[in-house]
């Protein structure tokens, strides 16, 4: 069997949080194209259902949509129960849901700070923890968390201290879980994307001046595309990455090199 065949994900069962659109949808599409069954987890159940139906139709796999608040432990437990009932097991978790608020630190309210930390960091912990419990019982699995280059640098000119702190936390959480679960065959890695031109981002009038500044600063002078995150996630989800755990993959077009 060649390396391309070995990298397929046939028979694997995967959930993707924040999977209805953007990076989550793009990576879920790659998982489905590689043969995996996918649970699209999102608060927007209508869009999640559309994405799940699209994946089934285009790839001949099984896909379900689950409405879940990743900051709510009961919701996360119910999500896992639904996945196990539908798929019978869980092989891969892509803990991807996140938000960003551009608010100056001196003006940020406690509620704004807490919302970003709850979704971006606590939400990743809760979903990774829930997935890890299942995988530890099964004897193995792979967890992929979405961090950010913002866990390595301070973005300018936008003020986003809560986002940066949350993503730095995701990176260290990933490494901690990887070490704790290393001998029990549960691998934990994260990706740290740079600026990615999702449909939502590119169509936001408020972000256009920022995008121009980001592109001027970037070595490649452009934003990344969601599909440019697909291959690394397929690799981390599959068996060819069996020696890869505790790693943070920066995919930013060399932005953090400057």
Residue position matching structure tokens 């896909």: 63
Q: Which residues are catalytic?
A: 148, 163, 167
The separation between CA 230 and the C-alpha centre of its own chain, rounded to angstroms, equals 11
Residue position matching structure tokens 């934990």: 188
Q: What are phi and psi of 94, to 5 degrees?
A: -110, 100
Kind and range of the H or E run holding 40: strand 37-42
193: three-class secondary structure by DSSP:
strand
End-to-end CA distance of the chain: 41
Going by C-alpha positions, the residue among 170, 188, 164 that lies closest to residue 101 is 164
Q: In what order do the strands lie in the sheet with 248-251?
A: 63-67, 37-42, 13-17, 92-95, 141-146, 186-193, 248-251
Measuring CA to CA, how many Å separate 104 from each of 99, 110, 188, 204, 210?
16, 13, 33, 20, 16
Measuring CA to CA, how many Å separate 167 from each of 14, 97, 118, 163, 248?
22, 12, 12, 6, 11
Measuring CA to CA, how many Å separate 204 from each of 19, 208, 211, 215, 252?
20, 7, 10, 16, 21
- Cα torsion through 214, 215, 221, 224, rounded to 10: 80
């Amino acid at each position: 069997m060649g390396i391309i065949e070995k990298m397929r994900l046939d028979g694997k069962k995967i959930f993707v949080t924040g999977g209805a659109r953007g990076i989550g949808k793009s990576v879920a599409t790659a998982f489905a194209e590689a043969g995996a069954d996918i649970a699209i987890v999102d608060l927007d159940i209508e869009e999640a259902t559309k994405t799940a139906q699209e994946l089934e139709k285009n790839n001949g796999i099984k896909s379900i949509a689950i409405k879940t608040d990743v900051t709510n432990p009961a919701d996360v437990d119910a999500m896992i129960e639904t996945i196990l009932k539908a798929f019978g097991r869980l092989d891969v978790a892509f803990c991807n849901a996140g938000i960003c608020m551009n608010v100056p630190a001196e003006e940020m309210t406690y509620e704004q700070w807490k919302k970003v930390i709850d979704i971006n960091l606590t939400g990743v912990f809760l979903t990774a923890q829930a997935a890890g419990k299942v995988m530890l019982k099964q004897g193995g699995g792979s967890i992929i968390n979405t961090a950010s280059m913002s866990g390595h640098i301070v973005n300018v000119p936008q003020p986003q201290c809560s986002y940066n702190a949350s993503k730095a936390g995701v990176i260290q959480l990933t490494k901690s879980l990887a070490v704790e679960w290393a001998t029990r065959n549960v691998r934990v890695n994260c990706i740290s994307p740079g600026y990615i031109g999702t449909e939502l981002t590119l169509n936001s009038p408020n972000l256009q001046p920022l995008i121009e500044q980001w592109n001027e600063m970037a070595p490649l002078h452009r934003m990344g595309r969601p599909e440019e995150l697909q291959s690394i996630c397929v690799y981390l989800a599959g068996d060819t990455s069996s020696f890869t755990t505790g790693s943070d993959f920066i995919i930013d077009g060399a932005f953090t090199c400057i």
